[in-house]
């Protein structure tokens, strides 16, 4: 019963924001967003989380269409990560719902400055709604789903590629880390999964790492060396090969180097190079705001 009253209050607050802003003193939009996110995080049932999340999506859908939202400061919003590209043309927003069975569903928006306007795209997580279908997860309406915590901007042959590094809580047994490339086609539409990762002789469009829920995996951009560094994962016993709930770092490191328009795998790099990087304070902020400590 109490949850319903809270939902009504949120709806009333949003109504005031949209209709009566000239006549009464109201909270800024960011405060409203932070309030809704807090309600979601404090909700005890999956049903209420979904209801409040629908309110959040509706509000963000209106707010992010406004040009001034592109520069809005989301630092007080505890449950949404916001990444801005180096060229200041792209903003990516991601968040998730954690359900009582330990599973997650991910949500997000893309804001893209396309000439004289800002295009907005909702990211629709289809990872657990495949119904047996083979999905490529290449469009915003068929998204793989993750919390993106780092973005690397690279340009090659007049095309800009945004490499996104993310985390997926998966379930009680495993975590995942994800790397994929986002670019915009000639129509200005976002495309995921560009095959820019070269692993020996194989090209792939997305790297997904699975490892034990209790383990930590380093997967970060080392700006000083201009490489993406990752822990090499292996099982704690060879009999568990292929069972990722037993995988974790084995104290060796691999890296991805951007060369010739591709991210090329380099195995077993010098550990001193791997860990010698400037830690991004924004990622430390994400840890304090309640996201995974494994970033």
Q: What is the C-alpha to C-alpha distance for residues 135 and 146, in angstroms, rounded to an integer? A: 16
For residue 281, pLDDT over 90 is answered with: no
Residue 8: predicted pLDDT: 40
* Beta-strand pair 117-124/202-204: unpaired
Encode pLDDT of 94-111 as tens digits.
Answer: 999 999 998 999 999 999
Residue 276: predicted pLDDT: 67
**What's phi and psi for 257, nearest 5 deg?**
-115, 130
Residue 275: predicted pLDDT: 76
For residue 156, pLDDT over 50 is answered with: yes
Residue 195: predicted pLDDT: 96
Which residue did the predictor score with more confidence, 172 or 90? 90
Model pTM score? 0.85
Q: What is the rounded average pLDDT of the residues 59-65?
A: 95
Q: What is the rounded average pLDDT of the residues 208-213?
A: 96
Q: What is the rounded average pLDDT of the residues 51-69?
A: 95
Asked if 192 contacts 139 with a C-beta cutoff of 8 angstroms, the reply is yes
Q: What is the rounded average pLDDT of the residues 11-24?
A: 38
3-state secondary structure 82-126: EEECCCCCEEEEEEEEECCCCCEEEEEEEEEEECCEEEEEEEEEC
Which single residue is written with the structure tokens 């629908």?
Answer: 54
N-term to C-term CA, the chain: 37
């Amino acid at each position: 019963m109490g949850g319903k009253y809270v939902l009504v209050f949120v709806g009333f607050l949003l109504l005031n924001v949209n209709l009566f802003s000239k006549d009464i003193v109201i909270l800024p939009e960011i405060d409203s967003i932070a309030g809704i996110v807090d309600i979601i995080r404090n909700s005890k049932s999956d049903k209420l989380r979904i209801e409040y999340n629908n309110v959040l999506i509706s509000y963000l859908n209106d707010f992010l269409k406004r040009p001034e939202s592109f520069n809005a400061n989301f630092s007080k919003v505890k449950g949404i990560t916001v990444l801005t590209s180096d060229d200041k043309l792209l903003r990516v927003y991601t968040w998730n719902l954690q359900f009582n069975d330990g599973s997650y569903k991910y949500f997000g928006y893309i804001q893209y400055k396309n000439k004289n306007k800002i295009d907005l795209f909702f990211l629709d997580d289809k990872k657990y709604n495949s119904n047996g279908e083979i999905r490529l997860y290449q469009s915003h309406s068929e998204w793989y789903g993750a919390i993106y915590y780092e973005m690397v901007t690279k340009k090659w042959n007049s095309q800009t590629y945004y490499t996104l590094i993310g985390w997926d809580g998966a379930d009680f047994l495993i975590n995942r880390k994800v790397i994929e490339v986002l670019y915009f086609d000639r129509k200005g539409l976002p495309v995921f999964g560009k095959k820019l990762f070269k692993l020996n002789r194989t090209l792939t469009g997305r790297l997904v790492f699975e490892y034990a829920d209790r383990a930590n995996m380093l997967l970060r951009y080392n700006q000083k060396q201009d490489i993406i560094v990752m822990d090499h994962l292996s099982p704690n016993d060879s009999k568990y090969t292929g069972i990722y709930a037993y995988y974790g770092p084995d104290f060796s490191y691999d890296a991805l180097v951007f060369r010739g328009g591709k991210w090329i795998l380099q195995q077993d790099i010098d550990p001193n190079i791997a860990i010698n990087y400037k830690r991004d304070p924004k990622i430390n902020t994400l840890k304090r705001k309640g996201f995974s400590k494994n970033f």
